[in-house]
Structure 1
Amino acid sequence: MDKAIYVYHPDSLKYVFHQNHPFDQRRLTLTRDLLQQVNALSVDQIFVPGELPDSHLLQQVHIPEYVEAVKQLSLEHPSQQAIDRAFQYGLHQGDTPYFAGMHQSALSIAAGSVTAAQMVMEGQTTHALHLGGGLHHAMPQKGAGFCIYNDAALAIAHVRETYGAKVLYIDTDVHHGDGVEMCFYTDPNVFTYSIHETGKYLFPGTGRVEERGAGEGFGYTVNLPLEPYTEDDSWLECFETTLNQVLERAKPDLIISQHGCDAHALDPLSHVHCSMRIYQEMPRMIHQAAHQWCEGRWVALGGGGYDIWRVVPRAWSLLWLEMSNHPLLQQLHTDPLLPLPQDWLDHWQAESPVSLPQTWLDDVKRWEPIPRREEITQSNRAISEIAATYLK
């Protein structure tokens, strides 16, 4: 029987760059509250990870000089020398600016993802969800894309070192999972698969279908870059087709998936036009894959998602409902426009700058049609076929 654990570290709420930064951790609170309102998350399902010994673990992914720079820039009043070198480590005043306490809050996020993977590998739970994680852009030598420490890569490195398990990393964020890919680009025991908007128009500008790994890891990296304004049917068709072929090649002992929910039409930082439907269907496919290929061992992480009011709480709640086999899932299959709990709407509408959605899924019949739908679908299908050819 499935058991699912919801990993949550309170210090992850302190991962705040500045007041107006798009990476807004209130989304964690909004999601947890929504799940509790529908009786889908109990106290005994929540696990708070302990402290993480940072030196050894962090250095499995990040160079010591970078970790030291993060520590120095985390001080309330960093030295001028540390500030002068912030640019070198990607921590200057850009998308990933340094802030007081960032080392400890980023370390707590890393602890959550490593703990989730450890609990699954040791049989304490079948599935583990850590929504604070998924900071997939951080590189060994620098921060990038709102990410300080790459918790997903750290969890994978820990699994490889401690258990010798083969890992399939699935990244469904609209932005290419470049940091995780880079960390394991030559490793045949870690298969990385990323479905994302093409880097022609979107950060980080990588993730071409031709990126396939190198050395012994050649063939163990798959990228599926989709067109702007891709909609649900095309996104899901490409994902399902390639995922099945990836699984045949990867034969994983563990699946670690990243669930950025920024491919939604309302997300302000991308150009993809999907609805909440993909956040209902993609976890279902991954769930089935985990049971088919690795005895259910599945760790799911958060990631991007910048419409924190209308998109993230619903998308991440759907992920937990799938992982925990909650009965509400069946209701949503028969009634996709099932209303959200009124108490949750009443409470958060007072803070939200936009009108909150009233239903779990989106009524896409009311959306404006995309004029280039067929052209986009055919382009995505062609890219998917190229990726599939590489897998043979």
Structure 2
Amino acid sequence: MQSVDGGASGLPIFIGNEIYRHSSYGAWHPLRVPRVSTVMDLARALGWLPPAQFVTSPRAKPAALTGFHTPRYLSALVQAEHDGAVTDDVRARHALGTPSNPVFPEMYRRPATSAGASILAGELLRRGGVVYSPAGGTHHGMPDRANGFCYLNDPVLAIQSLRRNGVGRVAYIDIDAHHPDGVEHAFETDPDTLMISVHEANRWPRTGALTDSGVGQVYNLPVAAGLNDDEMALIRDELILPLVTAFQPEAIVLQCGADAVTEDPQSRLTLSNNAHWAIVAALKPIAPRYLVLGGGGYNPWSVGRLWTGVWGVLNGQQIPKALPPAAQGVLGALTWDGPLRRHHPQAHWINTLRDHPRGGPIRDEIRRDVAQLAKRQQP
């Protein structure tokens, strides 16, 4: 694993890799769209990603992944990439070669690269600092099977790496539209891992009910369709920040999935990217180590803009009102083709980074559920 001191310069570190530029799950799959390469290109076009802050992600070898994944599963994943196909037995046992988790040319190398980034992040943060890995956040992966577009579970591997590098208490916050069932499976009984998930109710994988929150340090907040910026601000200020502050973590891992914004096709939530950026900023000063991961996000323009803004927030950059020509060129070159139609971008997806705020009334059920979870934390 690459050895880099992430805390020596005091500057945030961006972990990326060129593998994401041309790798796709297939022409029909939601993850056919470019994401990490867009963030890299857009951040560079804005002058936000100098070489000194960029680290190329290594590819994790199977032996490095056995802290969570079974050797049998890892062997099947490597073999599936080699063969370009799976047997019926492998499909049934490991959920490889399914519509959600298809066979594609980099089906081991690509997730092993994002897993390598998360493992490296734990090493970089040994002495503190900030690390950003937008390719990370594959929070559905299970020990013995792929799950929900996730072949490996890099958030779990990141937390394990932090532990190997001297970190005790870890707060894991997940604001993806989907519940992090794989991460909860790994840490639901661990008193040294605080897990907070805000996700859409009745959305796949349909786990993470409010009533599931009574195990260990797990707090699940399923929210109804239409969640707006003001409701997320309430959740941030009255649930997430008090819980994390009281926990006194030595490290924070934030899964910053971009699929909860209005433009994303995989949820019915209606946030703007401002809601995500506000949470990124608010969590940063609470712990000496901060790892921000990507996650869901299936509209290439909205995910690229949101995740580039995350990097800007981590670096204290001013979000420009209008993007310079080079940055507009990055977004203007994106396409979003599907099996049935081509999606056309709105003008502000090309010429701006920041969405207009999407506020609204705060529903009674949001207040009630936040208060119920917050009350659990009180002695």
Q: TM-score, normalised by structure 2?
A: 0.89
Give the aligned partner of residue 340 of structure 2: none
Q: How many residue pairs get matched?
A: 360
Give me the whole-angstrom Cα distance separating, in 2, the residues matched to 1:15 and 1:342: 27
Superposed counterparts of 1:33-44, under 5 Å: 33-44=41-52
User: Aligned Cα RMSD in Å?
Assistant: 2.1
- 1: CA distance between counterparts of 2:110 and 2:82? 12
Counterpart code for 1:340: L
Q: What SS does the corresponding residue of 2:210 show, helix, strand or coil?
A: coil
Name whichever of 183-192 and 246-255 sits farther off. Answer: 246-255
Cα deviation for residue 164 of structure 1 reads 4.5
2:292 aligned residue = 300
**Does 1:68 pair with 2:75?**
yes
Q: In structure 2, do the counterparts of structure 1 residues 23 and 143 end up closer, same or farther at CA, with 3 Å as the change threshold?
A: same
Aligned to 1:325: 316
For 1:316 and 1:77, locate their aligned partners in 2 and report how far apart those are by CA, in whole Å: 31
Q: Structure 1's 231 and 106: CA in aligned 2 closer, same or farther, altered over 3 A? A: same
Residues 71/41 of structure 1: CA separation in 2 closer, same or farther (3 Å cut) = same
Compared CA separation, residues 83 and 43, structure 1 to 2 (3 A):
farther
Task: Look up the SS of the partner of 2:213 in the other structure.
Answer: coil
Residue 111 of structure 2 aligns with which residue?
106
Other structure's SS at 2:190 match? coil
**Equivalence for 2:5:** none
1:388 alignment partner, one of 359, 364, 374: 374
Once the two structures are TM-superposed, the CA of residue 100 in structure 1 deviates from its matched residue by: 2.9
The question of 1:286 aligning with 2:283 is answered: yes
Q: Structure 2, unaligned stretches of length 5 or more?
A: 1-8, 336-342
Cα distance 1:209–1:143, how it changes in 2: closer, same or farther (>3 A)?
A: same
Residue 226 of structure 2 corresponds to: 229
Specify the alignment match of 1:165 in structure 2.
168
Whole-Å separation in 2 of the counterparts to 1:141 and 1:15: 24
Distance 1:264 1:51 in 2: 31
Identify the residue that residue 349 of structure 1 maps to in structure 2: 332
Deviations 1:225-246 (A, max 9, x none): 1110111101121122111221
Question: For the structure 1 residues 116 and 164, does the alpha-carbon distance in structure 2 shift closer, same or farther, using more than 3 Å as the test?
Answer: closer
Deviation at 1:119, TM superposition (A): 0.2
1:97 aligns with 2:102: yes
- Alignment partners' CA distance in 2, 1:9 and 1:25: 16
Aligned pair in 2 of structure 1 residues 128, 208: CA closer, same or farther (>3 Å)?
same
1:232-271 matched pairs, under 5 angstroms? 232-271=229-268
SS of 1:212 mapped into structure 2: helix
- Bigger shift: residues 133-142 or 28-37: 28-37
Question: Percent identity among equivalent residues?
Answer: 26
Q: 1:335 maps to which residue?
A: none
Following superposition, the deviation at residue 208 of structure 1 comes to 1.1
Partner-residue secondary structure (3-state), 1:168: strand
Aligned partners of 1:184 and 1:190 also within 8 Å: yes
Which residues of structure 1 form unaligned runs of 5+? Answer: 333-337
